[in-house]
Amino acid sequence: MDTKTLMAALRGEFVEKPGDRLCAVHGGYTVRTFATDEGKYVGEFPAECPACKADAITAAERSLREAKLREDMQTADIPLAYLPCTFRNYLPTCPDAQAVLATVREYAKNFADHRKVARSMTLQGSPGTGKTHLGVALLKAVMWEGGSGRYSTMADMVQAIRSTWSRSSSDSEAAVIRRYTAVDLLVLDEVDAASSRSDNEVGLISNVIDQRSRNLRPTVISGNVTKAELLAAIGDRAADRMRDHGGLMVVMDWSSYRGVRKTA
Ligand SMILES: Nc1ncnc2c1ncn2[C@@H]1O[C@H](COP(=O)(O)OP(=O)(O)OP(=O)(O)O)[C@@H](O)[C@H]1O
Ligand SMILES: [Mg+2]
Ligand SMILES: [Zn+2]
């Protein structure tokens, strides 16, 4: 039945009778059948099993959501080696690690609330303790809930912004900065000591974090430096933002998992 005939049928221009139909998957359902005054069959409504139709919508929604997630994952720039990282495959090796996993998981679960006040988080500690693993797991969790995210090392971000200063650059500085400020969650990894960085660069980093905070977008920074160095690397203004509204300061100082994995 084309739309025009269907509309006419629903307006009552045909003889209507209830009919029973059987769906192989969902069982019986009722339709309205329409015929002309002469008894010529015109069609019926609904034309297909309503449950099948609902399933198709769910499937379409699911594939749309998956497509969006795939796209988000691409722009999130998660390093290939860390793509499989999740909270589930993070196996705490000591009670401290157990507690940190719980903290980061909680942060992911309540991200919407943390976002309302731009409550950020720093992950600070020794090599191989899973800072990058948990940062990526968190990003994926946020994106799974429909949020947007981006991973970058601090050096890569600085480099990406600096590269726009060259005359041959096709990207504007503002456009590149927006890549880091526009996402719901930014994970800035491998923050190193500020001594290796010019004031100009520290200002740049500080500005990104501060701007994010003003737009209620939390930032996660992580690195294998002391807490003081970590905060110095991002400048005073950003350091304040990281502490605002009970910003979380997570310490990860157990021995590296890189050795554990070889024997496990
Ligand atoms: N508790 C854990 N359970 C499972 N895998 C882990 C755990 N901790 C670390 N890993 C894995 O060990 C490797 C090293 O961890 P990761 O790179 O996250 O450490 P990191 O703290 O970021 O180190 P670095 O300071 O060198 O950057 C990764 O492959 C990570 O997935
Ligand atoms: Mg790391
Ligand atoms: Zn059906």
Least confident of 123-132, 202-211, 228-237: 228-237
Beta bridge partners of 45: 32
Binned at pLDDT 50, 70 and 90, residue 71 comes out as confident
Which numbered ligand comes closest to the C-alpha of 27? 3
Q: Could you give the number of structural domains in the chain?
A: 2
Q: Which atom of ligand 1 is nearest to the CA of 134?
A: 18
Q: Do 233 and 173 fall into the same domain? A: yes
Least confident of 34-38, 219-223, 240-244: 240-244
What's the mean pLDDT in 28-40?
95
Q: Do 180 and 112 fall into the same domain? A: yes
Q: Do 198 and 137 fall into the same domain? A: yes
Q: How far is the CA of 127 from the centre of ligand 1 (A)?
A: 8
* Burial 238-249, CB ≥16 within 10 A → b, else e: bbbbbeeeebbe
The pick from 132, 251, 254 for probing ligand 1's pocket by mutation, whose C-beta has the most ligand atoms within 8 angstroms, reads 132
Report if residue 63 sits inside a domain: no
212 backbone φψ class: left, alpha, beta (φ>0; ψ -120 to 50): alpha
Q: Do 97 and 9 fall into the same domain? A: no
Q: Which atom of ligand 1 is nearest to the CA of 129?
A: 21
Q: What is the C-alpha separation between 221 and 132, in angstroms, rounded?
A: 10
Q: Tell me: the pLDDT tens digits for 93-137?
A: 999 999 999 999 999 999 999 999 999 999 999 999 999 999 999
What's the mean pLDDT in 221-231?
90
What's the mean pLDDT in 66-82?
89
Q: Do 213 and 85 fall into the same domain? A: yes
What's the mean pLDDT in 65-73?
84
Looking up residue 159, the CATH number of its domain turns out to be 3.40.50.300
- As a whole number, the mean pLDDT across the chain is 91
pLDDT of residue 194: 65
Q: Do 34 and 85 fall into the same domain? A: no
Q: Tell me: the pLDDT tens digits for 240-260?
A: 999 999 999 999 999 999 876
Q: Tell me: the pLDDT tens digits for 141-176?
A: 999 888 999 999 999 999 999 999 888 888 899 999
Q: For 15, how many CA atoms within 13 A lie in the half-sphere containing its CB?
A: 7
Report if residue 12 sits inside a domain: yes
Which carries the bigger pLDDT value, residue 68 or residue 263? Answer: 68
Report if residue 53 sits inside a domain: no
pTM: 0.78
Q: Do 218 and 114 fall into the same domain? A: yes
Q: Do 41 and 154 fall into the same domain? A: no
Supply the range of the domain harboring residue 213: 71-263
pLDDT of residue 143: 93
Q: Is the CB of 92 under 6 A from ligand 1?
A: yes
Q: How far is the CA of 138 from the centre of ligand 3 (A)?
A: 39
Q: What is the C-alpha separation between 110 and 88, in angstroms, rounded?
A: 17
pLDDT of residue 221: 96
Q: Is the CB of 129 under 6 A from ligand 1?
A: yes
Q: Do 43 and 99 fall into the same domain? A: no
Report every protein residue that has its C-beta within 5 angstroms of ion ligand 2. 131-132
Q: Is the CB of 131 under 6 A from ligand 1?
A: yes
Q: What is the C-alpha separation between 25 and 244, in angstroms, rounded?
A: 55
